[in-house]
A and B are shown apart, each in its own frame.
Chain A
Amino acid sequence: MSVTITLTVNGKSVTASVDPRTLLVEFLRNELSLTGTHVGCDTGQCGACTVHLDGRAVKSCTMLAAQANGAEVTTIEAVARDGELHPMQAAFRDCHALQCGFCTPGMVMAALDLVAANPSPDEKAVREGLDGNLCRCTGYHNIVKAVQQGAAAMRKGG
């Protein structure tokens, strides 16, 4: 069996015929070659696969591509604009909030969702807001700093 889905990915409309078992992350990576969205655990624990579905952060390894039918999906590839890093990405770089970088796309997508709901999160709010994202390298400290710095830059409209 296959099902036809139509969705908007990073602003472009996409129609495809998919096997129902296709996960959203498989569709993004294998069909659309959007490999910025990573698969870490494949069990819904690590958040490396976080994308936005109609503006809400979700784990793309724990949903079917067909569940995104009719929706707008945004991946890390659409966060930078015109070759310029988004202020949140720039803050991750400034604060050394990544080492191997594997978790970073998911962290940035989760951070953007968090800041959309709470434009000036304190440290506790950032730590709670990133509960669904694991990092094996940094010890989180610099990630928390980066999210606060990125949020501050976004408030200034940077």
Chain B
Amino acid sequence: MYAFELHKAKSVADAAALIAKTGGKALAGGQSLVGAMKLRLAQPGALVDLSGIAELRGIRREGGAVIVGAMTRHAEVAASADVKAAIPALVALAEGIGDRQVRNMGTLGGAIAHADPAADWPAAVLGLGATVITSKGRHAADGFFKGLYETALAGDELVTAVSFPVPRKAAYAKFRNPASRFALVGVFVAQAGDGAVRVAVTGATATPFRCAPLEAALAKSFTADAAKAAKVSANGLSGDLHASPEYRAHLIPVLAARAVASL
């Protein structure tokens, strides 16, 4: 790999200052960043390791929300009894990310800051209408994911936690790409405490999106049949060697129906 500087931050403020000063990038679990640096898809001149910042780790229930620290690993979410009791869909989602080794290192904050088009966490953030809490303030989920590997975060802005409102019901269904284990398509369905329905799709375009036809169908009737009957257009969906836009469009209502049926 190419040479770079490495700094270990003691606090969020220290990390943000080091990133601003060096023009570098945060290092969380490294499960996306280290691989990208080996291939020089990312070439930061400095890394700021967040692993020593205790305040970024952990899960807590606060009123009607579950707050997960940015440095909390996927495996910790998968094993959390608190998350299981409040939002079991998040446990299922975290258990399905990559493989054991990846889940033992990869973090929530890294996953959403990285904003891989096929990543799982963005579907939950958008599907639950979560709030991304950062070193500079808060971002609503709608508008946070801007494009391919692009978010609303400023260059020196750190995700510190995500606040997930506890829904009445929620579920995630994913069609795994068997080689990469990422989502060929993943669909997160949720019915909020006030009954509002949100459906978020990942893997189907450069950035996760809310699926209006499915939200309308499930708002009328929160059933698998209603989801399956919804029509999703292939227009604008990704096509690649793994799946055509038409196939992805077909998968979206199928996975939404599977998610609803699992509840």
The residue in chain B whose Cβ has the minimal distance to the Cβ of A26 is: B1
* A-B CB contact pairs (8 Å), 22 listed: A1-B3, A3-B6, A20-B4, A21-B1, A23-B1, A23-B34, A44-B35, A50-B101, A53-B104, A56-B75, A59-B101, A59-B105, A62-B34, A63-B29, A63-B34, A63-B105, A66-B6, A67-B27, A67-B51, A110-B100, A131-B181, A133-B99
Would you call A122 an interface residue if the criterion is a C-beta within 8 Å of the partner chain's C-beta atoms?
Answer: no
Chain B positions near chain A (C-beta within 8 angstroms): 1-6, 8, 27, 29-31, 34-35, 38, 47, 49, 51, 75, 98-102, 104-105, 181
Are A64 and B31 touching (Cβ within 8 A)? no
Residue of B6, B49, B101 with most chain A CB atoms under a 10 A cut-off: B101
A131:B38 contact, CB within 8 angstroms: no
Q: Give Cα A127 to B29, complex, Å.
A: 24
Q: With the chains together, A110 CA to B102 CA distance in Å?
A: 12
Q: Indicate which residue in A42, A44, A131 contacts B100 across the interface (CB closer than 8 Å).
A: A131
Task: Report the number of A-B residue pairs with Cβ-Cβ less than 8 Å.
Answer: 75
* B47 contact set on A, CB distance < 8 A: 20
Q: Chain A: interface residue count, which band?
A: 20 to 34
Measured CB to CB, the nearest residue on chain B to A109 is B101
A144 to chain B, nearest CB (A): 15
Chain B contacts for A64, CB-based, 8 A: 6, 27, 30, 34
Look across to chain A and name the residue whose beta carbon is closest to the beta carbon of B96.
A128
A114 in contact (CB, < 8 A): yes
Which one, B4, B101, B181, contacts A110 given CB within 8 A?
B101
Contact B38 A57 (CB under 8 A): no
**Could you tell me the distance between the alpha carbons of A113 and B103 in the complex, rounded to whole angstroms?**
12
Interface residues of A (CB under 8 A from B): 1, 3, 19-21, 23, 42-44, 47, 50, 53, 56-59, 62-64, 66-67, 69, 110, 113-114, 129, 131-133
- Interface centre among B2, B100, B102, by most A CB within 10 Å? B100
User: A residues within 8 A CB of B104?
Assistant: 53, 56-58, 113
Other than the known A19-B3, A131-B99, what 9 A-B pairs have Cβ atoms closer than 8 Å? A1-B3, A21-B1, A21-B2, A23-B34, A43-B38, A57-B100, A58-B101, A129-B100, A132-B98
Interface contact B34-A132, CB-CB below 8 Å: no
Q: Are A21 and B35 in contact (CB under 8 A)?
A: no
Please report the C-alpha to C-alpha distance between residue A64 and residue B99 in the assembled complex, in whole angstroms.
19
Task: Decide yes or no: A62 and B35 within 8 Å by CB, A57-B100, A114-B100 being known contacts.
Answer: yes
Chain B: CB-nearest residue to A51: B101
Whole-angstrom distance between the Cβ of A52 and the nearest chain B Cβ: 9
The 9 closest A-B pairs by CB, nearest first: A132-B99, A20-B6, A131-B99, A56-B104, A21-B1, A132-B101, A59-B101, A63-B30, A57-B101
Instruction: List residues of chain A with CB within 8 A of the CB of B27.
Output: 64, 67
Also in contact, A20 and B5, with CB within 8 A (given A56-B75, A62-B30, A67-B51): yes
For A56, what are the chain B residues with a Cβ–Cβ distance below 8 Å? Answer: 75, 104
Bound form: Cα–Cα A114–B101 in Å: 10
